Structures are given as C-alpha cells and as structure tokens.
Amino acid sequence: MDAIKEVIKNVPEYTFFKTVDELNESSRELAEKHPEIASFYQIGNSMAGDPIYCLKIGKGSKAILMYGFPHPNEPIGSMVLDYLSWQLAENEAFRNKFEDVSWYIVKAADNDGAKLNEGWFKGPYTPLNYALNFYRPAGYQQVEWTFPIKYKTLDNNDPIPETKALMKIIEEVKPIFIYSLHNAGFGGVYNYISEDAPILYPIFEKAYTDLDIPAALGEPEMPYAVKFADAVYKMPTTVDTYEFYAANSDKDPAEIIGKCGTCSYDYGRLFNEKVFELVCEVPYYYNPKIEDLSLTEFVRRDLVLANLEDMKSNYQKIKDIYFPLKEKITIESPLKTALDHFIESADKHLPVQENWAKTAKELDAKATVAEAFDNGPVSKTYKMLMWGMLRRILLLNFEKTGERELKEAAEKVYKQMKEMSDALEGELDYVVIPIKKLVQIQLMSGLYAALYAIEKNS
C-alpha cells in the first residue's frame, strides 16, 4: 500500500480532543525520542505569557508550515498535527514521499484561547455543550486575522504576540506551503485555496466522499467568496473584505474592518510569491441536506434577508440582558472583550450584508435545499454561541462579586440556550462526526496539497 494512503487509513479512533498541555507533552516526548530528526522549541509567548511552541521535523531546504488553533474553538487540526508529527518522525517511507522538506508544526497557535474551550474537548459533543463552553476571540485578537496589512485607507500593523510568533517563522523559512487548520461547526466540508488548482479538486472530493461526509453546498461562508469548484473557494483576504464593504456601504471600509489585520497567506506571499495555502473546513456535525441541490419553493434572497433579520434580533436579545448589567460586570476577561467586539461588529457588518442581499442578482433564484438549510437551522446553531459567552461572563463575575442579579441573568441565558437547543435538536436531525474521519479528511487534503506545493516550488 502506498505510504501516504496507509498513514491516512491508520488514523486512530480518537474519542476526545487533546488539551494544550497534552499536545505540548506529546511534542516534547517526540523530540526527546527522535533528536536526530526533530526539535521542539519556543517561538514566542501568548498574550497571557504562556509559551508557544514549534515542532520542527526534517532538515530539507523547502519549508512547510502547519498550525492548529488559528481560532481556538477549532481543535480538529491540532489532532491532525499531533498524529502527522509522529508519522513523520517514525515512518521513514512516508517521510521520504516529501523530498527535501522541513516541517514546522505549531499545534496550538492560540493556546490561551484553546484553554478557554477545553470545557467541551472531552465531550459530550452536542451543540448545546459546545455553546456553553465556547470562546472565540475578538477579531483584532485572532491569530489568523491580525497579520499586518496596508491597503487604501486601511493601515493595520498591530499583530498579537501569537501572530508575531508565526510571522517570525514565515520570515525566517519562507514556506512553500502553509496549512492553517480551521474547522467549521455544523454543515459540510469545504476548502479555501490560494490559487486555482484543478488537479487537487478530485482529491479534496474523495477525501470526504469516501467517508460518507457531505460537502458544504449551501451558502458560502462569505458572500464575496470566489468559487473554483463545488466546495472549493479562493482564499479570502482582507482586501476582498475591504472591496465588498466598499461596494455595499457608503462608509469607509477601514472603519467597518476596524483593528483587524489580514491572513497568513497575505503575509506568506511577501516572502515567497509562490507560496500555496490551504484551509480545509470540516464540521463537527452534519445533515445530508447540506449538499442537497434540489430546489425549494423559496427565493434565496428572502431566506438570506430573513436570516440577517434573525441575527439582528438575536443580538438585540443579548444586549437587552447584557447592557443593563454592565456596571456590575467588573472582571475584565477575554470573553468580555470578545462579546463586546462581536456586538459592535454586528452593528457595522449586518447593514452591509443587508445592502448586498437586497441587490445581489445571484439571490433572485429559487433556493436549494442546502441554501435553505444553511440560512435556517445551521445559522441558528451559530447564534447560540454568543449566548454561551454571555453566560460565562455572567457566571465569572458572579463568582467574584456574589451579585445575585448576575446569577439570575445567567440562569435566564441558560434557559434561552436550552430552548434554542431543544428546538434545534428535532429540526437539525444531526450526526456527530467521529474525530477520526475529520482528521482523515484534513490529513488527506493537506498531504496532497503539500505535494502540489513541492512540485510548484521545484
């Protein structure tokens, strides 16, 4: 059996996600066991002062950078990297398939944020438990979206320490391939790549169809995403976001974007114009409707606008509980910073999306089942996440201050989340995807993309 196919086939039956400490211990053990080929070293410190580590494997002249937890609620990639690192170190036949390569593996790019998600890493893997223990940083504190950018009226150069750690690697080794290991919550599989690469599309498709996982064929994550093939899009950058805002708002796009920067691909191509980047988005849960292209009776525009209106309503309900209690919320935390940011961002972003939705010609057609499912039940699962962060903020402050009103508000929030969850449980009819399958999909897509990048840079 081909060494690459064998490695993909032999992914273990994982039952839970590893914590940051477990990931670091695994890397440390690997480097100690294989000092002739691997090294484990610190590349920086997090915003909270915790060390960020890189595991280097190999001594080739071509560099590949792979990093997990670009967003800290996305642990699947860290499991991919943990498994891959041991295979590279101990499976010579497999390692030799990638000629003249040094692998730079950062299993936890945002270790602070990952630790704030560890409450759900061991299960149960339900949308409610995920939401109750969810954390995602403010946009201007996200590893993936704080790389420096200067474009028209936008001039942001304030990368967080975690991003600086990755920037240092990129500057020093000029990678030929960057794999930023994201994942989605509910839906299907889809990929972002930095250039049109048709040779990879059948491989991407085979990675998930062989495991009976659907493609995400509903609404694209971003309305301005450029489609290369089914479930394959061009890597979006902040320049694309800027131009979308310019076309759909009378405000300065820089004002809407705020303090956010750009992505790793934008930064990587400053040092290697031939760098190739992949993001393979895989979900925790799925329903076959997410790839059903049969037509519904609904006009897509109506569904998109109704979803946007529901988003506004959801944020208003959160504000109605949160804002009157702000004077009692005295503990500063990443959770509070994030929730404040997302509320403020929604006030800026949602009107732009509404302007687009009212005029975009592609929304004139009847919606597919996948698009309707995306705009309805799938979107509702994501709306629970902000409620989860609000509840954590309220409980954190209650524990510190003993303010009874905060506990009562937290109980009210939980009731709201439980009602949302109960309504969705029947509507979603979802399947929890085994971690092994998610790792196999990202692993297969990433390994063949790496071979493509090696060939491209030969």
Query: How many other CB atoms are there within 10 angstroms of residue 412's CB atom?
Result: 13
**Rounded Cα–Cα distance for residues 322 and 410 (Å):** 10
Catalytic: which of 281, 327, 411, 419? 281
Q: Is 281 a catalytic residue?
A: yes
Both tokens of 305, joined, read: 């606008």
Q: How far is CA 231 from the centre of its chain?
A: 16
pLDDT recorded at residue 88: 98
In the DSSP assignment, the letter for residue 70 is S
**458 residues of the chain, pLDDT tens digit each:** 599 999 999 999 999 999 999 999 999 999 999 999 999 999 999 999 999 999 999 999 999 999 999 999 999 999 999 999 999 999 999 999 999 999 999 999 999 999 999 999 999 999 999 999 999 999 999 999 999 999 999 999 999 999 999 999 999 999 999 999 999 999 999 999 999 999 999 999 999 999 999 999 999 999 999 999 999 999 999 999 999 999 999 999 999 999 999 999 999 999 999 999 999 999 999 999 999 999 999 999 999 999 999 999 999 999 999 999 999 999 999 999 999 999 999 999 999 999 999 999 999 999 999 999 999 999 999 999 999 999 999 999 999 999 999 999 999 999 999 999 999 888 888 999 999 999 999 999 999 999 999 999 99
3-state secondary structure at position 296:
strand
- pLDDT attached to residue 428: 87
As a whole number of angstroms, the distance between CA 62 and CA 104 comes to: 11
Domain 3-287+434-456: homologous superfamily in CATH: Zn peptidases (3.40.630.10)
Which residues are within 8 A (CB) of 327 and not within 5 positions of it... i.e. 6 or more apart?
none
Q: Tell me the chain's radius of gyration from C-alpha atoms.
A: 22
* Domain definitions of the chain by residue range: 3-287+434-456, 292-429
Which residue carries 């949302």 as its tokens? 420
- pLDDT (0 to 100) of residue 1: 56
- Other C-beta atoms lying within 10 Å of the C-beta of residue 288: 14
Instruction: Kindly compute the dihedral angle of the four CA atoms of residues 304, 310, 311, 316, in this order, to the nearest 10 degrees.
Output: 150
pLDDT score, position 425: 87
The Cα–Cα gap between 264 and 175 comes to 11
Q: What is the pTM of this model?
A: 0.97
